[in-house]
């Protein structure tokens, strides 16, 4: 009888640990997103409205920062994906527009999702987008080409030692996930 009690206790402990581990794993992604948003780690950029920009920033016309644009495809994404311009000089505090081009060279409709990152990582909290194709999934019909807009502002509080920012997007095929939802 004592051995049965010990086995039941051991089972309850193992089951409890399993439930806690599953719960932690389930919450890890949202916790990570919150952590990155707060700290600016992982190169995630901020999102602001144009009204916030107009009200909150005074352009620094004495300073120029180079913003480089990079495009990458995930391994399973067959689209052509590239920035229209490779780089531009910007004044912190001023709103700018850029765009990327995506071309679906396949014979089927696909849906893409771009994930941004900014480097150096410290600069990510000073790079804010008011409009971005990365906010939404991008469906493209077979053979379709699409110019995708980006509007951004570099916060004038960007540290002086940072003279160049790189905004990189990785494009993923999310067709299966989008169709499933």
Given this model, what pLDDT does residue 15 score? 78
Given this model, what pLDDT does residue 130 score? 87
The pLDDT of residue 174 is above 70: yes
Range of the domain at 55: 45-180
pLDDT tier, 39 (very low <50, low <70, confident <90, very high otherwise)? very low
What is the secondary structure of 62-93 as a DSSP string? T--EEEEEEEEE-TT--SEEEESSSEEEE-TT
Whether 49 and 87 map to the same domain: the answer is yes
What is the total count of domains within the chain? 2
Whether 139 and 60 map to the same domain: the answer is yes
Whether 11 and 96 map to the same domain: the answer is no
Whether 61 and 150 map to the same domain: the answer is yes
Whether 23 and 53 map to the same domain: the answer is no
> Which CATH number belongs to the domain containing residue 79 in this structure?
2.60.370.10
Sheet holding 80-83, edge to edge: 46-47, 127-132, 145-154, 95-103, 80-83
């Amino acid at each position: 009888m004592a051995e049965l009690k010990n086995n039941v206790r051991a089972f309850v402990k193992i089951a409890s640990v399993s439930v806690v581990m599953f719960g932690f794993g389930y919450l890890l992604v949202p916790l990570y997103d919150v952590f990155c948003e707060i700290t600016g780690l992982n190169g995630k950029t901020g999102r602001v409205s144009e009204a916030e920009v107009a009200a909150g920033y005074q352009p620094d016309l004495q300073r120029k920062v180079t913003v480089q644009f990079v495009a990458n495809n995930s391994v399973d994404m067959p689209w052509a994906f590239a920035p229209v311009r490779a780089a531009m000089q910007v004044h912190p505090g001023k709103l700018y527009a850029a765009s990327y081009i995506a071309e679906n060279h396949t014979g089927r409709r696909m849906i893409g999702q771009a994930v941004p990152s900014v480097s150096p990582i410290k600069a990510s909290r000073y790079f804010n987008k008011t409009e971005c194709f990365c906010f939404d999934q991008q469906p493209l019909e077979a053979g379709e080409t699409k110019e995708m807009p980006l509007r951004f502002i570099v916060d004038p509080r960007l540290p002086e030692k940072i003279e160049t920012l790189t905004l990189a997007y990785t494009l993923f095929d999310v067709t299966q996930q989008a169709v499933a939802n």
